[in-house]
Amino acid sequence: MDNCVHFIDLNPNPKLTEIARCITARQDSGISNRKAEHSGVFVENSDVLDNNEKFAVAFVDPNGEVHIGRIRKLTPRECWKLQGFTDDQFDKAKATGLSDSRLYKMAGNAVTVNVISEIGKIIKKVNDKN
């Protein structure tokens, strides 16, 4: 599983997830006390130990397998993609000269059709169970 990429909740007890649970404009704020407020990217790569990486992280999954790598923040492009925007839409916004900070904020404040559609599906599923 070397060089694999997973999302990670940046909480006091971080855990690997299959989805980014939150994107915020405060991507550089590190570990947060607010549950599931931030997501980052865990890049699995056992070579970090060979390269004397200062910030190597190890996780043990429920199966007992150890994952070694590093944590990085989401890029503005990744935030836009998570919100359902295309690369072309991101490139047009970036070409206007907007800063990364502004691009993060725009992604965090966006409400796109596909995101609302997925939220609607979850609400419908919950209502169908009740």
The confidence score (pLDDT) of residue 38 equals 66
Closest Cα partner for 28 from 76, 68, 67?
76
β-sheet bridge partners, residue 60: 66
Q: What local confidence, expressed as pLDDT, does residue 31 receive? A: 47
Q: Kindly report, residue by residue over 87-121, the tens digit of the pLDDT.
A: 999 999 999 999 998 998 888 888 878 778 888 99
* Mean of pLDDT values over 74-92: 90
Mean pLDDT lowest among 17-31, 69-83, 85-99:
17-31
Q: What is the pLDDT of residue 24?
A: 54
46: DSSP letter: T
Average pLDDT of the chain is 76
Q: What is the DSSP string of 5-19?
A: EEEEE-SSS-EEESS
What was the pLDDT predicted at 95? 97
Say if strands 15-17 and 5-9 run parallel, antiparallel, or are unpaired. Answer: antiparallel
Residue 28: what pLDDT? 47
Q: Quick one: average pLDDT of 23-35?
A: 49
Tens-place pLDDT, residues 43-71: 777 676 666 656 677 777 777 888 777 77
Contacts of residue 89, Cβ cutoff 8 Å, sequence gap at least 6: 80
The predicted pLDDT at position 1 comes to: 39
